[in-house]
Amino acid sequence: MMKVYVPNFHRAQESSCHLIAMLFSPSRPKVFHVYEFRKFSPTAVSSTFTVYQPEAFEQLVMGTGRSELDTLQVLMNTSIDAIRQELAAGGLPSLSSRTAERHPMDDPSFLPSPRLFEARRLAIACIVGIQSFFAYDPFIKLCFVVEQSFAPYHTASIDVLLTTGLIDYMGSLPNVSAGVHADELGERFDLDPRKLTTILRFLSTNGWVSETTESVFVLNRPALELVEGRDGRACAEFPREAQVSAVLQDWITHKDWRHSQSASETAKQFAVAVQAIGNCYSPGVLADYPWRSLPPTQTLVDCGGGQGAFSIALSKVCPSNKFIIQDLEGVVSRAEANVKAHIPGALESGRITVEAHDFFTPMPHHGDGYSFIFRHILHDWPGDRVIEILTQIAKAVGPKSKVLILENITRSPASNTNEYITLDDLSDTNEYKALSVPYHIPWDFGASGQTQQGLALAIMGILNSQERTLTQWTKLIEAANLRVTGVFPLRATLSVIECCAAERE
């Protein structure tokens, strides 16, 4: 037995009783028993109670002998309960980040109660601690590293809001919560709306803005502190080095499409990074699309297949299919070397062929005997060039051919599915389906979408290219005389857009 002293019990009756109820819940029978309460009344300042099995009590309340995740969960729930109670006690409204109105707590003169101040600190500490557990996506092991490498883009994106005047305009609208379309912002401030949308979507993963409908953005509560005249604005404009910000503004104000030029070493680093990310995508890509449903007699043409890593991996999943890796003359020699190293004899037997080909020219392989794969290729090109590439493929496909486009599909409020998927729907199954977006969660899953939106911002800067929504992809595909027959989300930041010839019924 042990005696436990609970200070300020009258101010924490709800949370303390909740804790005790948790200790005595049916899932923990005969573990804890209250022996006595002392000095407890509605106006009491403290309470003393006695419990049996003190070691178990210490494990639950003090965290000893318990996992770090379990401890953080208890502390997180406790801190949120305390914040909710202190807001109610102070007559304050509920908190929301996705609102265009300031909260009384945002006023610089607001002094939180001691309990509210400490509960907030504890909650933030728990959030960061819990994040460290889940920042590593099972199929993107390096996403936490990637997100950290994108930190300069976060600062630079905020600078774009400030230096262009976007934030002051959005904050001065008669109805701030209605938002404004990226096209309107682009016209008003002489900015490229396509690139501006990429920046705003990246900022949405950090909670600064919300995308209410496709390409329509509204300031969230935290962003209101960046409006002219607020203390947050003064802090954001504190003098510092901002080279990335200057470059980012160049990206958005120059509308001409052209690939950025870089030194050979930079190109090498980029290729290695792309390969590393591709390696992390591969398990989800190979597991979640029904590759074995492709006719085993078909040859799969890997268009822009680079060094051949994907075809090499896919050949093990589809042992009956043949493969053709296509890329420019300067790349195919490396692909041949990789095939020889990983699948000896595949080149000699004809199972895998490597050939030089420019996908802007007519495809040499035609008919039902071929399906065509574009993995992380088409986002490198502007819309008119994507149509050119896919038109060449549309001329080559047969009725049984498929065109598989593996790309990062940018989520937007227009993204939807025909069924609502919950976590319970994913229990006891190996079939992957994308979780439907719960209420109060951003359309792109907020912070968990930072890798996806960060990569979109990075390729915009490095290649002057873009990621696209499903609506945008569909328009390009249909313009090339193809049609979308299915979209397969993957346990990666990619999806497979499955297409066929438009005239096929």
> What confidence tens digit (pLDDT) does each residue in 17-73 have?
434 433 443 343 333 333 333 333 333 333 344 443 444 444 444 455 678 888 888
Return the pLDDT at 146.
67
Task: Please give the distance of CA 73 from its chain centroid, rounded to a whole number.
Answer: 23
Percentage with pLDDT > 70 across the chain: 74
184: confidence class by pLDDT, cuts 50, 70, 90: very high
Model pLDDT, residue 404: 99
Any alpha helices (H) in 142-295, and if so which ranges?
A: 143-149, 151-164, 166-171, 182-189, 193-204, 231-236, 243-253, 264-288
Residue pLDDT, tens place only, 379-413: 989 899 999 999 999 999 999 999 999 999 988 77
State the Cα angle at 181 between 184 and 190, rounded to 5°.
30
**Domains of the chain (ranges, CATH numbers):** 2-134 (no CATH), 143-253 (1.10.10.10), 264-409+468-501 (3.40.50.150)
Answer yes or no: is pLDDT of 121 > 50.
Answer: yes
Close Cβ partners of 137 (under 8 Å, ≥ 6 residues apart): 143, 451
Name the residue among 343, 355, 358, 269 with its Cα closest to residue 309.
Answer: 343
- Residue 480 pLDDT grade (very low, low, confident, very high; cuts 50, 70, 90): very high
Beta bridge partners of 137: 140
Instruction: Name the one residue in this structure whose structure tokens are 């436990």.
Output: 4
Can you read off the two tokens belonging to residue 212? Answer: 């209410």
The model scores a pTM over 0.85 = no
Q: What is the pLDDT of residues 439-475, one digit of tens each?
A: 777 777 777 777 778 878 878 877 778 889 999 999 9
The per-residue pLDDT for range 270-318, each reduced to its tens digit, is 556 666 666 667 888 998 999 999 999 999 999 999 989 999 999 999 9
